[in-house]
């Protein structure tokens, strides 16, 4: 194939992922020369279908965040489309792009509910933990030391400015309390879905550094610590290898 | 040989699929769902040796005008092997360009020059994958103005030069014929006998959008297979004996009765054709096979 085809393909995808094509903001003059001769109405329909599929993936990860966006969602989504073209077919990758867009630009945040970044961060973490649960290879544990513990793979640790757990559980109508909250997102033993746990600061800090297997005997020296390890294990926050 | 009838595996109905496994003769596995961090991958390999599996890809983008991703292909080869799949299929399409992925199948300009470049790529795929490679016809909304080969001519040229088989998506053929005003039976008549080695069936929907001046059929994989698609399947079975006929469903997955009904209807079509063939062969001997 000649480079010319790639140029045409690049032009086509730029057009199909553009706000002009998706939201009908098109005037005839802005059509890429590589696309001349293609039915413009059908291109717009293709653009809209692809956009709808992409946003369905994003919305599936951020149900409460979208409730909070409410009146702003139209403008927000238009801006997202313009600044973050799709890079990957996957749901999580598109969700990460949306999160980066939503929370990465402080100019956008004043018009949004102040707790929205925390809600979005928790929803993205829940989706990541859910995906990790399904892909975790239990054989990884075979390489563990005897009597060792570590933070469970895929656990997300979040430092939030609002306690948004009620919003996640009940809905976006509730007003969250503003306070620093340290959260761990993990799948408890036997649970179908991951959960969000509030953590004390020492526990949060400990989990933050438990990337590698460590000798449990060296760490768990008191009955109280034994109990903590048991609780964290039941919550799915740490992994214990007997 | 009877065509095996089954469904495309979807993680969202994993429990239901496992409970109803005896309703199917095979499952089609999306190769890309077995890769890397995709959530479905460990569940999928549970099916090996429990039911025949066939391998279908969505991530090759064979039509993108850049060299094939050989690491991706090697991963495909390993998964095909692990699934014990008898064939690997992909779409004759492109989905991405460097740095941008539409995640939607797009058509290629249908010219001899483009066909030649695809032929080279198909040969590379065949050299790295240990099972027969099948190309699938896609549904498309638009066409490129410089296309000068028909859908059948383009597919036939690539398949003839490479020995690749055709995964015929009957719903895509039906939608394209309806949306672009050509005769789906003429398309089928232009295919050499035996080229169709697997079949996809699905149900789409009518869309009315103001950006186009007419209603169009869209390939939503959300509804029961329409009667017209079954009529096309009947014609397919007259000249081809696909090893697998797969019902694809990606939306309204809770309507599982519709899935089972479609599978039953497909199987009835296959059985009727098989019975007709048996009668012809018993009446006319081997000469009847030509029918």
DSSP for B166-208 reads EEEEHHHHHHHHHHHT--HHHHHHTSPTT-EEEEEE---EEE-
Residues of chain B contacting residue A6, judged by C-beta atoms under 8 Å apart: 64-66, 97
Range(s) of the domain holding residue B47: 4-290
Going from the C-alpha of A69 to that of each of A102, A119, A120, B10, B277, the distances in angstroms are 10, 11, 11, 31, 61
Of B98, B100, B141, the CB nearest to A45: B141
Report CB contact under 8 Å: B100, A85.
yes
Q: What is the pLDDT of residues B219-244, one digit of tens each?
A: 889 999 999 999 999 999 999 999 99
Question: Is position A155 within any domain?
Answer: yes
Question: Is position A160 within any domain?
Answer: yes
Residue A138 pLDDT > 60: no
Question: Is position A207 within any domain?
Answer: yes
Question: Is position A10 within any domain?
Answer: no
CATH number for the domain that contains residue A211: 3.90.930.50
User: How far out from the chain centre does Cα A33 lie?
Assistant: 37
A35 touching chain B per CB within 8 A: no
A136 versus A150: the higher-pLDDT residue is A150
A12 touching chain B per CB within 8 A: yes
Range(s) of the domain holding residue A220: 139-242
**How many structural domains compose chain B?**
1
Residue A142 pLDDT > 70: no
Q: What is the ipTM of this complex?
A: 0.91
Question: Is position A150 within any domain?
Answer: yes
Of B40, B98, B141, the CB nearest to A134: B40
Residue B280 pLDDT > 80: no
Average pLDDT over residues A180-205: 94
Q: What is the pLDDT of residues A43-54, one digit of tens each?
A: 999 999 999 999
Nearest chain A Cα distance for residue B213, angstroms: 8
Q: What is the pLDDT of residues B12-46, one digit of tens each?
A: 999 999 999 999 999 999 999 998 766 667 689 99
**Predicted local confidence at residue B104, as pLDDT:** 95
**Predicted local confidence at residue A173, as pLDDT:** 81
pTM: 0.89
**How many structural domains compose chain A?**
1
Residue A226 pLDDT > 90: no
**Predicted local confidence at residue A2, as pLDDT:** 42
Residue with token string 């408890």: A188
Residues of chain A contacting residue B98, judged by C-beta atoms under 8 Å apart: 10
B190-206: b (≥16 Cβ within 10 Å) or e: ebeeebbbbbbbbbbee
**Predicted local confidence at residue A221, as pLDDT:** 67
CATH number for the domain that contains residue B112: 3.20.20.150
A48 touching chain B per CB within 8 A: yes
The percentage of chain B sitting over the pLDDT mark of 90, rounded to a whole number, equals 84
B209 touching chain A per CB within 8 A: yes
């Amino acid at each position: 194939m000649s480079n010319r085809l790639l140029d045409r393909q690049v032009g086509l995808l730029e057009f199909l992922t553009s706000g002009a094509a998706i939201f009908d903001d098109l005037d005839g003059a802005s059509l890429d020369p590589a696309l001349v001769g293609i039915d413009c109405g059908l291109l717009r329909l293709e653009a809209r279908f692809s956009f709808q599929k992409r946003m369905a993936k994003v919305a599936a990860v951020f149900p409460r965040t979208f409730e909070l966006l409410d009146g702003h969602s139209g403008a927000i989504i238009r801006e997202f489309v313009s600044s973050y073209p799709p890079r990957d077919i996957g749901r999580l990758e598109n969700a990460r792009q949306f999160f980066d867009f939503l929370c990465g630009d402080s100019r956008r945040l004043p018009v949004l509910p102040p707790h929205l970044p925390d809600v979005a961060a928790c929803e993205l973490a829940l989706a990541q933990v859910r995906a990790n649960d399904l892909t975790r290879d239990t054989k990884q544990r075979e390489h563990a030391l005897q009597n060792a513990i570590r933070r469970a793979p895929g656990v997300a640790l979040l430092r939030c400015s609002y306690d948004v757990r009620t919003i996640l559980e009940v809905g976006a109508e509730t007003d969250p309390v503003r306070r620093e909250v340290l959260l761990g997102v993990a799948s408890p033993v036997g649970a179908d879905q991951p959960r969000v746990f509030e953590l004390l600061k020492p526990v949060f800090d400990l989990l933050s550094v438990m990337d590698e297997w460590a000798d449990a005997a060296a760490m768990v020296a008191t009955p109280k610590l034994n109990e903590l390890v048991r609780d964290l294990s039941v919550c799915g926050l740490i992994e214990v290898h007997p | 040989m009877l065509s095996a009838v089954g469904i495309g595996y979807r993680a969202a109905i994993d429990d239901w699929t496992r409970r109803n496994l005896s309703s199917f003769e095979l499952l089609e596995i999306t190769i890309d769902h077995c890769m890397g961090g995709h959530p479905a991958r460990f569940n999928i390999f549970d099916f090996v040796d429990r039911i025949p599996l066939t391998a279908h890809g969505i991530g090759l983008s064979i039509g993108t005008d850049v060299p094939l991703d050989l690491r991706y292909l090697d991963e495909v080869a390993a998964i095909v092997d692990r699934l014990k799949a008898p064939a690997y299929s992909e779409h004759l399409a492109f989905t991405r360009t460097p740095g941008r992925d539409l995640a939607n199948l797009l058509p290629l300009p249908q010219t001899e020059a483009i066909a030649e470049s695809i032929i080279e790529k198909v040969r590379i795929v065949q050299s790295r994958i240990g099972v027969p490679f099948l190309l699938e016809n896609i549904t498309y909304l638009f066409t490129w103005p410089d296309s000068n080969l028909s859908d059948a001519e383009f597919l036939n040229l690539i398949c003839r030069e490479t020995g690749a088989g055709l995964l015929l998506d009957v719903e895509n053929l039906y939608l394209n014929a309806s949306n672009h005003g050509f005769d789906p039976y003429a398309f089928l008549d232009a295919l050499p006998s035996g080229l169709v080695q697997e079949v996809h069936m699905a149900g789409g929907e009518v869309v009315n959008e103001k950006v186009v001046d007419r209603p169009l059929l869209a390939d939503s994989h959300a509804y029961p297979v329409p009667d017209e698609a079954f009529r096309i399947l009947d014609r397919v079975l007259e000249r081809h004996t696909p090893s697998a006929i797969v019902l694809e469903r990606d939306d309204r997955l809770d309507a599982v009765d519709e899935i089972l009904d479609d599978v039953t209807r497909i199987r009835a079509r296959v059985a009727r054709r098989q019975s007709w063939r048996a009668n012809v062969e018993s009446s006319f001997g081997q000469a009847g096979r030509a029918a």
